[in-house]
Amino acid sequence: MLDEHGTLKLAVIPGDGIGTEVVAEGLKVLDAAGVKAETTTYDLGAKRYHATGETLPDSVLEELRGYDAILLGAVGDPSVPPGVLERDLLLRLRFELDHYVNLRPVKLFPGVTTPIAGAGPEDIDMVVVREGTEGPYAGAGGVLRRGTPHEIATQESFNTAYGVARVVRYAFAKAQARPRKKLTLVHKTNVLTYAGDLWMRTVESIAPEFPDVTVDYCHVDAASMFFVTQPSRFDVIVTDNLFGDILTDIGAAIAGGIGLAASGNVNPERTAPSMFEPVHGSAPDIAGQGKADPTATVLSVAMMLDHLGLTEAAARVERAVAADLAERAGAGTRSTSQIGDDIAKRVAG
């Protein structure tokens, strides 16, 4: 952990599309918060891929291990075959740096419009703890007789007691630290019986360590529905990589849109740097036009500060964002950098 006198060694991966634009605003706000940071920018993403064919060279991965944290914008570009940057850069970082907690708050800030009729900030305030290093994202599977009428393609989900227990225990602790102290396991135990059974038994076996946490279970289909019809059911959710991916996009939708959704890829034991990134993608259609909302990145910076132990600075950034959002309705259309400026001013002021 850093103390307030330390200098934050930060690796920055702006990536593609709007990634560069939103990361600039994140850094602006970090600076305004008075955090001393030494940043190094890495050109990973589509450009590097086209120039050298590299996605994430081993040497760069090793260098990245030396930082306190990583701030990532977004990766992905239509000019790169689909999935290459996602898998060989983004997912590889998450897996290699053992980001087993993918932390994604779903929180409706006052003043933000939700598409859910009648819902307010008191109804939408949860944290999704998404597993980040195994499950259906393991990349396992295969194909036989490709391109023939007899092709078969498989896709395998790997779930280990080790991997499930550590993320479940983290989620319990998260729930315990929140006022409602409620944890919901989301899975599909009635169909995915092997994996579901491991998740269910793991939650049951860890529950006694957290006697004050209420435990609940919900099938992923029902949970997806309740995100829309009854989001107040949820406080902390723990789930696998794929279900967490889906739920947090629904979460972004109900909490005011993908422009506000922050995330942390966290290595709780700090054996490697954690990585913070907006949930949104590189949005090539609006790239370079100053139209992207940097708020998700700024909130990701707040999560990073919190993770690093700079809780006061984290709280200041989050308060500044909240204040900015509260007055957004009257603020008119602002560019990416104007929003960054406005939040930075509030942080500094």
Ligand X SMILES: CC(C)[C@H](C(=O)O)[C@@H](O)C(=O)O
Pick the piece of the chain touching ligand X (CB under 6 A) from 83-91, 157-165, 286-294, 313-321. Answer: 83-91
Residue 90 as a binder of ligand X (CB under 6 A): the answer is yes
Say whether 326 sits in a helix, a strand or coil.
helix
| Cβ-contact 200, 92 below 8 angstroms | no
Pick the piece of the chain touching a copy of itself (CB under 8 A) from 4-12, 43-51, 60-68, 136-144. Answer: 136-144
**Is residue 306 among the annotated active site residues?**
no
List 68, 235, 240, 245, catalytic entry: 245
Per-residue tokens: 86: 């996602």
Binding residue count for ligand X, defined by CB under 6 A: 8
List 49, 67, 100, 137, catalytic entry: 137
Residue 122 as a binder of a copy of itself (CB under 8 A): the answer is no
Nearer CB in complex with a copy of itself: 67/243: 243
Edge-to-edge strand ranges of the sheet holding 69-74: 37-41, 8-15, 69-74, 274-278, 262-266, 101-107, 125-131, 236-239, 182-187, 214-219
**Is residue 249 among the annotated active site residues?**
yes
| Cβ-contact 103, 210 below 8 angstroms | no
Reduce the secondary structure of 17-29 to three states and give it as a string.
CCHHHHHHHHHHH
Residue 221 as a binder of ligand X (CB under 6 A): the answer is yes
Angle (nearest 5°) at CA 204 between 199 and 205: 100
CA nearest neighbour of 317 among 274, 281, 276, 266: 276
**Is residue 188 among the annotated active site residues?**
yes
Round to whole Å and give the CA distance between 119 and 234: 14
Binding residue count for a copy of itself, defined by CB under 8 A: 65
| Cβ-contact 84, 50 below 8 angstroms | no
- Does 104 count as an annotated binding residue? yes
Nearer CB in complex with a copy of itself: 4/151: 151
Pick the piece of the chain touching a copy of itself (CB under 8 A) from 57-65, 83-91, 264-272, 328-336. Answer: 83-91
Round to whole Å and give the CA distance between 77 and 85: 8
Residue 139 as a binder of ligand X (CB under 6 A): the answer is no
- Smallest gap from residue 343 Cβ to ligand X (A): 23
Say whether 66 sits in a helix, a strand or coil.
coil
**Is residue 216 among the annotated active site residues?**
no
Give 130's contacts (C-beta < 8 A, 6+ positions apart): 101, 102, 103, 104, 239, 240, 241, 243, 244, 245, 247, 248
**Helix 336-348 and helix 311-326, axial crossing angle in degrees, nearest 10:** 120
Residue 315 as a binder of ligand X (CB under 6 A): the answer is no
Residue the block writes with tokens 């919901």: 184
**Is residue 194 among the annotated active site residues?**
no
Of 138-177, binders to a copy of itself (CB under 8 A) are 139, 141-143, 145, 147-162, 165
Residue the block writes with tokens 């970082």: 93
- Does 306 count as an annotated binding residue? no
| Cβ-contact 327, 345 below 8 angstroms | no
- Does 284 count as an annotated binding residue? yes
Residue 110 as a binder of a copy of itself (CB under 8 A): the answer is no
Round to whole Å and give the CA distance between 308 and 97: 16
Residue from 31, 43, 54, 86 that binds ligand X (CB under 6 A)? 86
**Which listed option, ligand X, a copy of itself, none, makes contact with residue 148 (CB within 5 to 8 Å by class)?**
a copy of itself
Residue 191 as a binder of ligand X (CB under 6 A): the answer is yes
Round to whole Å and give the CA distance between 97 and 152: 33
Of 249-288, binders to ligand X (CB under 6 A) are 279
List 123, 249, 341, 342, catalytic entry: 249
Instruction: Kindly list the residues in this chain that would bind ligand X in the complex (CB under 6 A).
Output: 86, 90-91, 190-191, 221, 245, 279
Which residues are documented as binding site for substrate?
94, 104, 130, 221
Instruction: Kindly list the residues in this chain that would bind a copy of itself in the complex (CB under 8 A).
Output: 82-83, 86-87, 91, 114-118, 136-137, 139, 141-143, 145, 147-162, 165, 188-198, 201, 220-222, 224-225, 227-229, 242, 245-246, 248-250, 252-254, 257-258
Catalytic residues: 137, 188, 221, 245, 249
Which residues are documented as binding site for NAD(+)?
281-293
